[in-house]
Amino acid sequence: ISDDAATRAFGVAIDRNRLRKALLGIPDAHRRVILLKYFDQLEIDDLCATLGCSRQEFAIQLHRALRALRSAMEEAATDAT
């Protein structure tokens, strides 16, 4: 493995760890929405059926969840410095 590839792999591992910690730091409801959307990659109709909400309600939930995740990641970055 080259030095560049090792550096990239290390950076990805750090980013993955920061994301994992940030996900654990947000409310369960927000984490669930993010995991279903981005990790389970469910279609919108399946997401709405799973969560028991309309498309509009899902969009609002996703927006709030991503805002919470962004805030948690920014807070973790601030704490690290």
One pLDDT digit (tens) per residue for the chain, 81 residues = 567 887 778 777 777 888 889 999 999 999 999 999 999 999 999 999 999 999 999 999 999 999 999 999 888 777 655
Cα separation values, 25 from 5, 10, 56, 73, 75, Å:
30, 23, 25, 9, 10
